[in-house]
Amino acid sequence: MGSLISQIQAVVAMNLRSLPQRIWMSLATLFAVAIVVAVLLAFLSMANGFQQTVKNTGSESLAVILRAGSQAELNSVITRDQVNLLSEAPGIVRGDKGPKVSAELYVTVDGIKRSSQTEVNLPLRGISESGISLREGFTIIEGRMFEPGKNEIVVGSSVLREFSGFELGNSLRFGKTTWTVVGVFEAGASVFASELWTDVRTLQSQFNRGSSAQVIRVALQQPGDIGAITEYIDKEPRLNMDVKTEAEYYQEQAKAMSDMIFFLGWPLAIAMALGALAGALNTMYNSVAQRAVEIATLRAIGFRGVSAFLGTLVESLVLAFIGGLLGTLAAFLLFDGISASTLGGSFTQIVFSFELSSDAFVQGITLAMIIGLVGGFFPALKASRVPVMVAFSVDP
Amino acid sequence: MSQKQLFELNNVNKSFTKGKEEITIFNGLNMSIKEGEFLAIMGPSGSGKTTLLNLLGGVDRPTAGDILFRGSPINNLSEGQLSKWRAEHIGFIFQFYNLMPMLNAARNVELPLLLKKLSRSQRRNSVDTALKLVGLEARAGHQPSELSGGQQQRVAIARAIVSDPTFLLCDEPTGDLDRATAVEILEILQLLNREFGKTIVMVTHDPAAAEYASRCLHLDKGEFIEKDLAA
Amino acid sequence: MTDTYLVLKNLTRNKLRLVLNCFAILIAFLLFGALGSLQHAFTAGIELSADNRLIVVNKINFTQPLPIAYVNKVRAIDGISKVTHANWFGAYYQDARRPMVGLAVDGDSYLDIYDNILLSDGGREAWLKERQGVIVGERMAHMHGWKVGDRIPISSNIFSQADGSTVWDMVISDIFRDKEPSADTNFLLFHYKYFIETQTFGKDWVGWMILTTEDSSLNERVAKAIDTNFANSSTETDTSTEKAFNRSFLEQVGSIGLIITSVIFAAFFTILLIVGNSMALSIRERTREIAVLKTIGFAAPRIFGMVLAESISLALIGGLLGLGVAVMLINGASSNPQLQSMLPNLIVPPSILIQALGYMLALGLITGIFPALRAMRLNTIDALNRG
């Protein structure tokens, strides 16, 4: 047994030392694996980053109420009377100033995306003081808060990063009205950071919306429990609305996009992995062919077939592993943290960052090792079956 | 009977640079080969036998001096012209046969005919004739891996003569064969020389092989020590 | 026997290697075919839009309304031949999670501008005189099993009627096709008048305007004239060609093109590494044989050509197989109704096939050129290892 282990060690060491003889083939396989892993990680970190951003936005202790069937804040319309009726609903936290309810307006304005210099949709949210108090992570990091009644805007930190023209102190023209950016806010790594916020009444009057709102957010007495509100709405014929926790709402908004990234990323990576596998098999079969005399000689002096098998398998696994690490490193350097934006459920831009999770890292290395394992296994089998006779045949 | 000169080497110099060292193989070598002779060239390794063969075969060029083939120099032909010249005039036979492993015997023999403008049936006739001559017509469809060493060398001979060249260059044609098989090969070469008038130059280190030749030259350190065997 | 036979024999001598290389190339061209078609499907709408069509939207954003009075004001501007308008309805049928494209339009003028919409004989008249009439694209009608004369309830995820209902009753007046068979017909059109009179969000507005210029060379001037005309009014406009509008709309989703191009590039680079090395190895293994061919009298350019022919054949075999699989895959996917509604133009366009052929030749050339040069320059004396 001990001798077998030292046999294997010896053969593995011989294989790895002879790698430089096959340097180009080996490097090609190594890079192929690296590229496959990098592509997979790019998609996974994109899906992950997008999902994280949207997940960070939704709170379990808030409910989002929209007009029935409207699916997204942009589409919904809610009248002043409906807002008042809803404030009476049970299950809502009541503070000193009455129920914690925020009626918000959500309109779309144009911004210019820095990377492509094209016009994109940005959300301009009209919000009241009580609405801001509902957002836990909200802080002004530069400038100050807007003053109610004035055409003043605070912008999310991501807006500043991805879109041009929203710097502190800038004037913006929406139609005939001019607005001033007076502050920059941070709201965690959330969708809100991709929004522009202003006073809801000002927005209503400047955009001719009367007293209507589009979305109502309420603080829930029991986090996650929307039962009481749902029941209240069902019984009230003047309220035709959908209730969801904010967490659930954003989850649904993000699902289509992150699913698409995920379900596009994996098949692509698998297809490419199959291509790389063909390369690995090529390389390893070549390695076995090149070492046939050497393997047979070892067998002739008493080495066992299993040592030839493992020697080849380990060579393949080592190549794949290095390739996997290289691919991960490349993905980390190239993609991790880069900022991107896409269209969210409300037809407006959501800014997010690519985020390489430890999960993705493990998946990347696993994929690399599978390529190495399969790519090494069959050639290794061939290596273990090299006839001893080969050692004695001389080929010119 | 005065025979025409096939080859004439006038004052041929040949040297290589190997690393920083300059190795001189020939320094003012003169020789001539008559049409229709069977010349054996013997000598220890490193004596310049193979270099001489390469020069005669037009795969290598002299550093200085002239190589005349039927009176006209071949050392100033371009690569392309040399390829053409080889295809037209020379048949090569190698020690290790050098057959194409993926082609069967007949197709290996047919190979040089791809360099000529011949119809399919003309090519087939030539291949059949050549294979018949070496006694391998029954093995036409076999892959080289299915043939013995002697059979492979016979296929190689058929390949060398299929395009009816003037001149055969053999590099240790029996070097890899046992005695009896070697004799078969040498007898074929002799037949080609006597019956078909092929001029043959054969490099060998086997004195028994050299006995089949009409003349034998001994090469040592780039110079000839002439012995006439046929005389 | 010919050179072709020799090339073929060389190509197939190591069957395992051939299969592996072909497979690697197959994957690359499968990805190219499938992703290229996907990208084409995303951008197909842009390519189909007419050159002399302009879109006028609210300058704040295209989701903001325009006053209906603008339609007549725009009509008075020089260089414009026709004007129409449309409103986004936010339509869905029964399931709010599956929105569909539904526009409220001025029927007569809309059909004048979008003359690619083909109705049946008398279909146009029937629709125009039916207040609740709707015309439905062939693909949409097929998907839901709708026929002319059906009454269908179409809901809006944006608008509601005075009684709070969000459902509009409509009757199918006709089912339309598009002049271009591959064009998307997964949408419906109904009357602006019916829409504006029943919904509760004001009575004097439209979503956007579409107009045609007398000649596409006038586009820029007309667009400028419109935007200047409404500058400093309460509602400013932003006019662009339909093409540019569609393109920038697509750009909002993200750099789909960039992502697809990067993936294809990565795939090709990987396959280039694998196949290139394998090809180089094959030629190295054949050093001796090539030397023999040259000795026999095969000229260097001929050998160069044979090696190149081998690598190009390899690329063509793998590539064509991959393209075939891509075509099957795309055809299979595009018959899936859900995908069809998302990507109506999902086909493998001829341009992709031609490009793929070009890339196959390029791949064969690049993977073969160095081995071929090596073979061509091979020193026969060293290679035969004599002397």
Q: CB pairs below 8 Å between B and C: how many?
A: 75
A198 pLDDT tier (thresholds 50, 70, 90): very high
pLDDT given at position C385: 57
Say whether C167 sits in a helix, a strand or coil.
strand
- What domain range is B172 assigned to? 36-47+77-227
Q: Per the CB < 8 Å rule, is A347 touching C63?
A: yes
Contacts of A176 in chain C (CB under 8 A): 232-236
pLDDT classification of B1: cutoffs 50, 70, 90: very low
Nearest chain A alpha carbon to C158 = A75
Q: How far apart are CA B98 and CA B106, in angstroms?
A: 14
C31 touches chain A (CB under 8 A): yes
C322 contact partners, CB below 8 Å, separation of at least 6: C25, C26, C27, C28, C29, C30, C31, C32, C33
Spell out the domain ranges in chain C.
3-46+255-384, 65-234
- Determine the Cα–Cα distance for residues B216 and B222; give it in Å rounded to an integer: 15
Judging contacts by C-beta atoms under 8 Å, the chain B residues touching residue C310 are none
Task: Give me the mean pLDDT over the C331-335 stretch.
Answer: 85
Q: Look at B83 and C288 and tell me if their CB atoms are within 8 Å.
A: no
Nearest CA in chain C to B44: C387
- Chain C neighbors of A116, CB-CB under 8 A: 251, 255
- Least reliable range by pLDDT among A110-124, A180-194, B167-181, C251-265: C251-265
**In the 3-class helix/strand/coil scheme, how is B58-112 assigned residue by residue?**
CCCCCCEEEEEECCEECCCCCHHHHHHHHHHHEEEECCCCCCCCCCCHHHHHHHH
- With a CB cutoff of 8 Å and minimum separation 6, the contacts of C59 are A110, A175, C227, C235, C236, C237, C238
- B-chain CB neighbours of C381 within 8 Å are 54, 59-60
User: Is residue B71 assigned to a domain?
Assistant: no
The C-alpha torsion from C196 through C200 and C203 to C206, rounded to 10°, is -60
d(C-alpha A99, C-alpha A91), whole Å = 10
Using a CB-CB cut-off of 8 Å, the residues of chain C touching B111 are 1, 293, 296
**Residue C146 in this model has a pLDDT that exceeds 80:** yes
pLDDT in tens, B167-183: 999 999 998 889 999 99
Determine the angle formed by the axes of helices C15-48 and C3-12, rounding to 10 degrees: 100
Q: Is residue B68 part of a domain?
A: no
Minimum CA–CA partner of C9 in chain B: B102
Look at C184 and C339; give whichever has higher pLDDT.
C184
Q: Give C119's DSSP letter.
A: P
Give me the CATH number covering residue B219: 3.40.50.300
Which residue matches tokens 């271009």?
C180
- pLDDT single digits (tens) B39-98: 999 988 778 888 898 899 988 889 999 999 998 999 889 888 988 999 999 999 988 888
Judge whether A198 and A152 are in contact, CB under 8 Å.
yes
- Say if C271 is an interface residue toward chain A (CB within 8 Å): yes
Give the residues across from B121 on adjacent strands.
Answer: none
The reply to whether B28 falls in a domain is no
Using the predicted structure, report yes or no on whether residue A344 has a pLDDT greater than 90. no
* Interval B128-145 mean pLDDT: 93
Higher pLDDT: C18 or A345? It is C18
- Residue B89 confidence (pLDDT): 92
User: In this model, does residue C183 exceed pLDDT 80?
Assistant: no
Task: Kindly report the average pLDDT of chain C as a whole number.
Answer: 90
Q: Are B19 and B26 contacting, i.e. CB atoms less than 8 angstroms apart?
A: no
Cβ neighbours for C25, distance < 8 A, ≥ 6 positions apart? C271, C275, C314, C315, C317, C318, C319, C322, C363
Task: Give, in order, the Cα–Cα distances in Å from C58 to each of A197, A214, B73, C356.
Answer: 21, 20, 88, 42
Q: Does A119 reach chain C within 8 Å, measured CB to CB?
A: yes
Nearest alpha-carbon partner for C21 in C314, C339, C304: C314
How many residues appear in chain C? 387
Q: Record the pTM.
A: 0.84
The confidence band for B226, taking pLDDT boundaries of 50, 70 and 90, is: low
The structure tokens 């699902």 sit at: A255
Q: Is the pLDDT of residue B3 over 70?
A: no
| CA C278/CA C288 separation, integer angstroms | 18
Chain A, window 320-349: residues with a beta carbon less than 8 angstroms from a chain C beta carbon? 340-343, 347, 349
**Domains of chain B: total:** 1
Q: Which residue of chain C is at minimal alpha-carbon distance from B57?
A: C295
Nearest by CB to residue C1, choosing from B54, B85, B110, is B110
Label residue A396 by pLDDT band (50, 70, 90): very low
Determine contact: C321 vs chain A, CB below 8 A: no
Q: Which chains touch B (3 or more CB pairs under 8 A)?
A: C
Asked whether residue B8 is assigned to any structural domain, the reply reads no
B4: helix, strand or coil: coil
- Tens digits of residue pLDDT in C102-124: 999 999 999 999 999 999 999 99
More confident position, C83 or C344: C83
Q: How far away is chain C from the Cα of B134, in angstroms, using its nearest Cα?
A: 19
Question: Which of C207, C62, C234, C208 lies closest to A121 in space, CA to CA?
Answer: C62
Contacts of C89 by beta carbon, 8 Å cutoff, 6+ apart: C102, C103, C104, C154, C156, C158, C159, C190, C195
Taking contacts as CB-CB distances below 8 angstroms, the residues of chain A near C207 are none
What was the pLDDT predicted at A388?
A: 83
H or E segment and range at residue A165: none
The answer on pLDDT for B227 being more than 60 is no
What are the Cα distances from residue A59, in Å, to A56, A125, C302? 8, 18, 73
From CA C23, how far away is CA A124, in angstroms rounded? Answer: 51
Task: Identify the residue whose tokens are 């629709």.
Answer: C127
Q: B84, B97, B100: best mutation site toward chain C, by most C Cβ within 10 Å?
A: B100
Neighbours of C336 (CB within 10 A): 12
Average pLDDT of chain A, as a whole number: 89
Chain A stretch 69-108, residues whose beta carbon is closer than 8 A to a beta carbon of chain C:
69-72, 74-77, 107-108
Residue B210 vs residues A295, A386, B8, B134: alpha-carbon distances, Å: 41, 41, 22, 20
* pLDDT of B23: 85
Among candidates C289, C300, C380 on the partner chain, residue whose Cβ is nearest the Cβ of B100: C289
Q: What angle do CA A296, A300, A301 make, to 5 degrees?
A: 125
Question: Do the chains contact at C386 and B57, CB–CB below 8 Å?
Answer: no
